[in-house]
A and B are shown apart, each in its own frame.
Chain A
Amino acid sequence: MTQSTHETTGEQVSASPAAFVFTTVRLSIVFIILCGMIYPLASTALAQVLMPAQANGSLLKDASGKVVGSALIGQSFTNQAMFQSRVSSIGYKAEASGSNNYGPSNPDMLQRTKDSIAQWKLDNPGVPVSQLPVDLITNSGSGLDPHISPAAALVQVPRISKLTGIPADTLEALVKEHTEGRDLGLFGEKRVNVLKLNLALTEVAK
């Protein structure tokens, strides 16, 4: 408190209640402008100038240069000849986000999981269900998860190989090539971006 000569009471700060309230109003306006307008707009300007690709949603283009989505946002793949994404209660509609928020004992969630396993058996005869990784039949938190685990990609190889005629070795190599490691070799999990993998798959299939 060195710069202050009048300690402890502070009553001299405001001559009247009106002046006190006026101070708080002016204080609020200053910070609404500073934190609510200047800060986000300056951040936007800086981001747009310095890192436009990242700042605009990391859009992904196919070989012909057409935008096919965002590298960060998952997509729904209904075609069995492609790698499938995780379960999404919102069907990867990215104008919204979220999930059903099913609790671990929720009967609807348990039924959905059983149905997914039954469907998996129909679509992937010959692959034992004990190899089906749990991430593939559970709903992600965002409903937009762009990734599956490497195991969840590899387990789909026999089905896709049969439907497309591409040798399993080629597909496995493709999965390996698109497996992203942990960040800095340490943080997070190994993962495969399903959209990027399927983009590569369509190139191979051509």
Chain B
Amino acid sequence: MGIVQIIVVILILVLLVKPVGTYLYHVFSNEPNRTDRVFGATEKGIYRLIGLKHRGGMSWKKYVLSFIVTNLVLVVFSYLFLRLQKGLPLNPGGIGNMEETLTFNTVISFITNTNLQHYSGETGVSYFSQMAVMTMLMFTSAASGFSVAVAFVRGITGRRSVGNFFEDFVKAHIRIFIPLALLVTMALVALHVPQTLKPTLEVTTLEGQTQQIAIGPVASLESIKHIGTNGGGFFGANSAHPFENPGPLSNVLEIISMWLLPASLPYMYGKFAGNKRQGWMIFGAMMTLFVVLLGVNYAAESAGNPAINAMGIDASQGSMEGKEVRFGIAQSALFTTVTTAATTGSVNNMHDTLTPLGSITPLTLMMLNNVFGGKGVGLINMLMYAILGVFLCGLMVGRTPEFLGRKIEAREMKLIAIAILIHPLIILVPTAGAFLTELGKGSISNPGFHGMTQVLYEYVSSAANNGSGFEGLADNTSFWNITTGVVMLLGRYVSMIAMLAVAGSLLRKKPVPETIGTFRTDNGLFTGILIGTVLIIGALTFLPVIVLGPVAEYLTLR
């Protein structure tokens, strides 16, 4: 039954890819279409409010500048809201202002679409902050990332310009995120997720004890948390909390919500490229890697923790420490794999409690950071590897490599090298650094090799803008707040800027005609080369730390 329910969810996703990918193409191709009638008037109103008179295409530099300045302004507002939340409205719990380094970490975490949370939702933020900071940044960071991905696709497929950031940003909200979030919010409420402004409930339990139950406007955050691949929970336990995720059906809805848009982007890219096979080949490479890693986690968690299995109890359910009975292994393994593939970072089971081999799945997906990936970033990264793959093949046959009819030359390869190298750099250097200081080492809560994995996971998750954690780590200290804050910033902006520069550079080149000697990028051979490139680069970079952490722990447990 476990495997059947997993296959059904994957099938639902695959069936939705084409209609949703087509819709995304219509939204961002800027050609007139039927959706203009529904949303056009609202958008015009917003353009008027913000004083955007001309919506012409921008240069890539102008696009980057608009993206960064908008993000910066949102960060300033959010910082002020959190620092002043005590005196702001909608604070029935009387929660105090947030501390400086924690606020620094939190606003970066949400604007970079990471949602690493060093605070706890129940006790650290007011309802106003949950709405005007968390929920708001979940929309705007997702729309920002989406816009950049669309701009990149326009660039490499040779549109006339990368587009207009402000127009993309508004359209992403009005035509995708807000309507979808409203729909999913109502569905979640129907499945019993609370949505109220009432303060914490107090009940007398069956045994006569007093139980305080934290509650709030959960559903409206929960929906965009997944649709925007953000992942920050309303409560500390995130989607393992029964109010955030009451049952298997809400679990499936949340999985599809976070997976749908990233999985549809390759199809949209295929439509932009005028070659849908091209999109499906990218999708195929992603899905292949996904299924293999899902299998690793599912098998390891089903087999259970060898140390507990040896105690003579009925351990046939698998490893249940840190998991919820309503989800069991199948719905937990699927959630873990999707949330780290789509870099959402919400969790419905505690990743710190995963079996050693099971924890390889989330770590690897965040290290690769291109199997579906977060709002737009995954597609950009996968295309980056596609260009690298084409380049490697070009070297082998001694031909100037081409991608989508444009020559790949030194400038593009330098930028791609920067984008590929920054990711391991900002993971491995801080991980090693944390072990050199008492500030870092002192936060480890699990002894032995597992402690190594805890530290590694924190930086991998920050760099990949995922935001899940091995939550035992005592990470609300200035050391962790500041170091992970910087890693999140670099992880988000360096590769995005480099890749937009690649798009700008390709846009300026004259297309070369396709000949019999052109290396085709829309067939199975290319998918194979793409998967190979991803795995070779990933393994060369990260295999040593995987061996030091999870594999070493596995060997001690056996």
Contacts and interface: CB of A to CB of B under 8 A. Distances in A.
A10 B190 CA distance: 46
A177 interface: no
A107 to B, nearest CB: 7
Interface stretch (B66-74, B265-273, B274-282, B494-502): B66-74
B195 A55 contact: yes
Contact of B447 (A10, A98, A106): A106
A141 B122 contact: no
Interface stretch (B156-164, B286-294, B484-492, B521-529): B156-164
B161 A1 contact: yes
Interface string A69-105: 1111111111100100010000011111111111111
B213 A47 contact: no
A142 B143 CA distance: 30
A35 B136 contact: yes
Interface in A152-206: 182-184, 186-189, 191, 195, 198-199, 202
Contacts of A1: 30, 57, 159-161, 163
Interface string B176-194: 0010011001100111111
Contacts of B213: 57, 69-70, 73, 94-95
Interface residues of A, number: 119
B539 interface: no
A3 B164 CA distance: 12
B459 to A, nearest CB: 17
Contacts of B355: 104
A14 to B, nearest CB: 9
B131 A27 contact: no
A119 interface: no
Contacts of B221: 40
Interface centre among B31, B307, B322 (most CB of A within 10 A): B322
A5 B161 CA distance: 12
Given A68-B206, A130-B313, A133-B313, A142 B242 contact: yes
Contact of A104 (B203, B219, B317, B557): B557
B220 interface: yes
A69 B553 contact: no
A11 B62 contact: yes
Interface residues of B, number: 139
Interface stretch (B232-240, B360-368, B432-440, B510-518): B232-240
Nearest to B307: A110
Interface string A130-148: 1111110111111111111
Contacts, number: 417
B152 to A, nearest CB: 16
Given A54-B193, A105-B553, A189 B327 contact: yes
A69 B211 contact: yes
Contacts of B470: 101, 103
Interface string A46-57: 111011001111
Contacts of A42: 182
A149 B446 CA distance: 28
B198 A56 contact: yes
Of listed A42, A132, A182, residue having the most chain B CB within 10 A: A182
Interface in A7-58: 7-13, 19-32, 34-37, 39-44, 46-48, 50-51, 54-58
B447 A96 contact: no
Given A10-B56, A27-B169, A147-B325, A106 B450 contact: yes
Given A24-B73, A138-B323, 4 more contacts: A10-B56, A54-B190, A101-B471, A149-B325
Which 7 interchain pairs have the tightest Cβ spacing? A188-B248, A36-B136, A101-B472, A141-B240, A189-B328, A103-B450, A10-B58
26 contacts: A8-B57, A10-B59, A12-B56, A20-B66, A26-B51, A27-B70, A32-B74, A40-B220, A50-B186, A56-B196, A57-B213, A69-B203, A70-B203, A78-B207, A86-B325, A92-B211, A101-B353, A101-B472, A104-B321, A105-B356, A105-B449, A140-B240, A142-B235, A142-B240, A142-B241, A191-B326
Interface of A: 1-13, 19-32, 34-37, 39-44, 46-48, 50-51, 54-59, 62, 66-79, 82, 86, 92-107, 109-110, 113-114, 117, 129-135, 137-149, 151, 182-184, 186-189, 191, 195, 198-199, 202
